[in-house]
């Protein structure tokens, strides 16, 4: 009787999860902070909504461009490393075999077994073996610029839309507190969901993201109040 051992790992989610959480968090915090700053300076509800909408569009484009450039730089570095490794495999197979075996010895294998493992893996796919064990590049965690850019832009837009919905619905007299408190709720939910998706503690994730979001909104509101008084 065979026992099937099933495991669920979250490392495959790390690429898009990081970009999505960063985008959604930035969308909520930056848009809510912008809205609170403008509202604290005694702007009209229409101007607050216009400023928030402009912040949504600009922020989503900025997140997409920034993620694409950043992750593409990583992808370029990975491609350059693989090209260098491919040339070394073509010109010095024996040296690469010894290098791979030394890695396995360093991880705890006996020298004879390490040489055998290196030989078999290189016969199967030499470049893949060196990519994974020498360079630390795996298919699961490989840089994906388009995926990261899309996840960041979409999540930013969704996050930024939440405070704007509150601005559109909340009465002018309680707009500041409505945006502030609901944004904290949105951030806590985001932090908890992100932590759960990544296999981390939900309470810690929620508290961390809520604290820094509250600090950012409070500072921006204070700046808006200063300019409002000065005006």
Residue 164 confidence (pLDDT): 93
What's the pLDDT score for residue 10? 47
Cβ(15)–Cβ(23) under 8 Å?
no
**The pair of three-digit structure tokens given for residue 46, joined into one six-digit string:** 């229409």
- Can you state the angle between helices 14-40 and 202-230, rounded to 10 degrees? 30
Q: Which residues contact 8 (CB under 8 A, 6 or more apart)?
A: none
Closest CA to 161 of 139, 183, 190: 183
| Residue 215: half-sphere exposure toward Cβ, Cα within 13 Å | 6
**CA–CA distance, 156 with 160 (Å, rounded to integer):** 6
pLDDT value of position 4: 52
Residues of the chain with pLDDT under 70: 1-19, 138-142, 198, 228-231
What is the DSSP secondary-structure string of 177-198?
A: HHHHHHHHHHHHHHHHHHHHHT
Q: Using the CB atoms, write b or e for 60-78: b if 16+ within 10 Å.
A: beebbeebbebbbeebeeb
- Backbone dihedral region of 110: left (phi > 0), alpha (psi from -120 to 50 degrees) or beta? beta
Residue labelled with tokens 């693989």: 82
Q: Which two tokens stand for residue 90?
A: 């073509």
Asked if 163 and 33 count as a contact pair (C-beta separation under 8 A), the reply is no
Q: Report H helices in 41-92.
A: 45-91
- Cβ distance 26 to 216 under 8 Å? no
pLDDT number for residue 15: 53
Q: Exposed, middle or buried by CB within 10 Å (0-12, 13-18, 19+), for 114?
A: buried
* 143 membership: H or E segment, kind and range: none
Rounded to whole angstroms, how far apart are CA atoms 210 and 218?
A: 12
pLDDT of residue 161: 94
- pTM for this prediction: 0.67
| pLDDT score recorded for residue 11 | 47
């Amino acid at each position: 009787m065979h026992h099937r051992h099933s495991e669920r790992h979250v490392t495959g989610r790390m690429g898009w999860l990081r970009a999505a959480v960063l985008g959604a968090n930035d969308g909520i915090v930056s848009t809510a902070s912008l809205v609170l700053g403008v509202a604290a300076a005694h702007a009209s509800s229409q101007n607050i909504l216009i400023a928030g909408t402009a912040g949504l569009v600009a922020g989503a484009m900025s997140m997409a461009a920034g993620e694409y450039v950043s992750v593409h730089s990583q992808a370029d570095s990975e491609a350059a490393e693989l090209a260098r490794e491919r040339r070394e495999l073509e010109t010095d197979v024996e040296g690469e075999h010894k290098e791979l075996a030394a890695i396995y010895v360093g991880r705890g294998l006996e020298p004879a077994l390490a040489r055998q493992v290196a030989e078999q893996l290189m016969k199967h796919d030499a470049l893949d073996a060196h990519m994974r064990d020498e360079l630390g590049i795996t298919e699961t965690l490989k840089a994906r610029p388009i995926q990261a850019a899309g996840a960041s832009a979409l999540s930013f837009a969704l996050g930024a839309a939440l405070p704007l919905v509150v601005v559109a619905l909340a009465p002018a007299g309680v707009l500041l507190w409505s945006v502030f408190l609901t944004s904290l709720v949105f951030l806590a939910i985001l932090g908890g969901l992100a932590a759960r998706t990544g296999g981390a503690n939900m309470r810690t994730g929620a508290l961390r993201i809520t604290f820094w979001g509250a600090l950012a909104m409070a500072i921006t509101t204070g700046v808006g109040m200063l300019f409002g008084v000065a005006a």
